[in-house]
Amino acid sequence: MRVCSVLGVCVLAVVVSVAAAALPPLGVVQAAAQPSKEYLDVEVKNDAVRSDLTINQAEDPSTDSSAEPPTDPPTDPPTDPPTDPPTDPPTDPPTDPPTDPPTDPPTDPPTDPPTDPPTDPPTDPPTDPPTDPPTDPPTDPPTDPPTDPPTDPPTDPPTDPPITTTLEPTDPSIPIPTATPPRTHKLTVGDLGTAEGVILTSFKSRDFYGFMSLPYAEPPVNESRFKYPEEFAGPWENKYYDASYLRPRCAQASLLFTGIVSGSEDCLHLSVYTPLLPEDLTEGQDALPVMVFIHGGAYMSGDAFLYVPTKLMDRDVVVVVVQYRLGLLGFLAAGVEEAPGNMGLMDQIMALRWVQKHIHHFAGDPDLVTVFGQSAGGASSSWMYLTPLTNASAEGNNGRQLLHRVIPQSGSALEEWTLDKDPESSFVVAASKLNCDNPGFTTADILNCMRSRHYEDVVNAAVAIYIEDRRAGGLGFKGLSPVVQRDIAGIHPVIPKDPREILDAAEFLNIPVMTGSVRDEGSLVMGLTYKDFMVYNNHTTEDVDFLKNDALMMLLQAFGIEDKTGSVSSSMRLTYLPDATMGDWDSMIGGMIDMSGVMFLKSGLWELTRRASLANENSPIYFYSWEYEADDSLFDWIFMSFPDIPVPGGVSHADELLYLFHLPAVHDERQKVMVDRMTKIWTNFAKYGDPTPEATREQWEDAIEKWNPYTPDQQNFMLIKDNFTMMVDYTTRWNYHSTGNDSTVEPPSTTMAPDMVSRDTYDDMKEERNNFAIATVVLGVVCAFCLLLFVIVYIRKRRKQNDIV
């Protein structure tokens, strides 16, 4: 059987990865004593090797986001970081947030990295204010954490004290710059009212504006839980909105799923960052291109906290970061209007409608919107590309197309994990986890029961589903991902049919696409497989029998491939582990990283590119393989609590985000060059629909070759290392660890070699496997028939001989 490409899975990882991004030797986490509001302050000095981010994020769903700002905002922070953390908690709730957070990083890194900035969010449900503030703050609490509640609490105290998280450099010897008082700026946003945002500092010390956590939809709570979002029409209360701090993330569990839930159901916000405002545009200057980012996190985790675009703000673009519902709250599918599924995707569409209406107030061009995202956000981006609901003709879009370019990074709608194949069974399992599976209940009864549950219970039910699936060898997406919505009365389906059908029928937007993946996508898969499946099932790296006989078949099964005959496993072994000693972990791990990376998402992305190019030849598609190696990698943060994991990270899932956003990294001069090239390429595509346009040739031609689009006949892709090199046929990079592609760079080619044949797509492989199985069955039936015929003839012949005798 020919070597076949395989479909993939998304990432519990960028839940993992991007959330882990919030974890450098995590600075100090200090619970503030109920301040009335918080601020985000970013300072990055381009002339120093450091990247410091201090974000104060509200965790209180009950906070009045529209209230007038306090009379006395924070004023004078200390000029020198304190040597020791504060030891005396305040006795009265301060008007101003604490101004002396500890700045010394802990000696030992935290052992429980979260998916969210707060290391351990409060365990009390937001609806019941705690009697005492937390006494065991995580990671590295002050020497004497507060143990007594404020003596004079406000009338309506926040239920979850806000948490100040300082992300510090990995090198504790690097000085931590002292935060300055936040500078604010007021902006009129049409009929909504006045938003007061903050002025931040970019990677190259340029000022830019941040307007954070602007609501784009009504809170999806009570009877609205599990339903499509309702537009926030405004205006803001008193026509004023304090946009100087981040509101809670969408409800989710911590990375290690220890029963700790953070965030809120009231989370449908977006944050707008812009280097210019309308009054800053010079005469004749066009409005700025808009880039809308959709975070990853396996549809279970992620938020706006991690994606402050300090690096992209050095280019003239407006960046919007969207939060959307996650887990069961965002993707429970009951097949009815009250829970149609894909609510998280519909949230994203609602955010894009908000952008069309209001982004011009931030100097953004609503006719030049690029949607980009990574991992589950990459898959979501491709859904925005494929869904009929982003077309100008869709109801609710007021005749406006919602996006004009798209960049799915390390994730697409064609991955194995991005569609729940059996939503009916998933709904039954979810009902069971929430004790809403009474035999006499109708669907409406079950949903009423599920809506009556506290949102923390709903989040923990999703966690239980995830854990069970992972420990059984699955990917953890069962019942927690998008669905095809067929014949649901009262709703417009986000996904009306299988994405392959949409692509083959050319029923998608005719817009430019840039997409690709990183070299070692599979290191995340293998790391999680080892941690969540092998360790739980008592398989070690010394388990020769398991590694030799079952490991490859287990990986295939995780990606939806039933290898009953063993033929697919054999093909995978010959392709990805040709020289490996089967049963030897060290010998096998490189090949398993390659193999799982292909199944994880490489083949799905390549197939999306191929099908879209065949169906629509008028819009260019640019493909890349990110293979840039550096000391900074999100793999280290993902597995911080598992430091001895026997999997090499390599160029890991989500590593490219380090060069676009303010994620924890200490960039050396070489990496700063990559920041410059990456932001230039990404924003070029947003501006021109071409990553290397002739108009900016002098800015990229020294190290970047002209990027030619993919075509069915010429399967171009860009190999991104220190330099950007054009290559042909991405499948030749799939068995990287067995072919030694790290030591050689193939010269760019302008034509496909006559004997160069791409490996089969996943669909081809599946069809081939099915044909093989059918042929085997047919052959077996024929053999059985022949054997039966032989027995009958033999018996009749013997009887005839006996009669003669």
Q: Judge contact between 339 and 295, C-beta under 8 A.
A: no
Q: Judge contact between 414 and 432, C-beta under 8 A.
A: no
- Token pair of 277, please? 């405002």
Q: Which residues pair with 728 in a beta bridge?
A: 716
Catalytic residue among 375, 426, 641, 652: 375
**Which residues does 107 contact at the CB level (< 8 Å), separation at least 6?**
none
Question: Torsion over CA of 529, 533, 539 and 545, rounded to 10 degrees?
Answer: -70
Best CA proximity match to 684, nearest among 696, 674, 673:
696
In angstroms, the CA 439 to CA 428 distance is 11
Q: Which residues pair with 621 in a beta bridge?
A: 513
Q: Is 375 a catalytic residue?
A: yes
- Token pair of 688, please? 């021109």
DSSP single-letter state for residue 760: B
In angstroms, the CA 272 to CA 369 distance is 13
Helix (H, G, I), strand (E, B) or coil at 553: helix
Best CA proximity match to 530, nearest among 590, 487, 470:
470
Peptide bond into 235 cis (omega under 30): yes
- Token pair of 113, please? 């990295």
In angstroms, the CA 332 to CA 343 distance is 8
Which single residue is written with the structure tokens 């004290």? Answer: 161
In angstroms, the CA 395 to CA 389 distance is 8
Which single residue is written with the structure tokens 């449908």? Answer: 268
652: left (phi over 0), alpha (psi -120 to 50) or beta: beta
- Token pair of 706, please? 């002209």
DSSP single-letter state for residue 283: T
Cα torsion angle, 455, 458, 462, 464, sign: positive
The strand pair at 318-322 and 288-294 is best described as parallel
Q: Judge contact between 449 and 441, C-beta under 8 A.
A: yes
In angstroms, the CA 329 to CA 252 distance is 10
Active site residues per annotation: 375
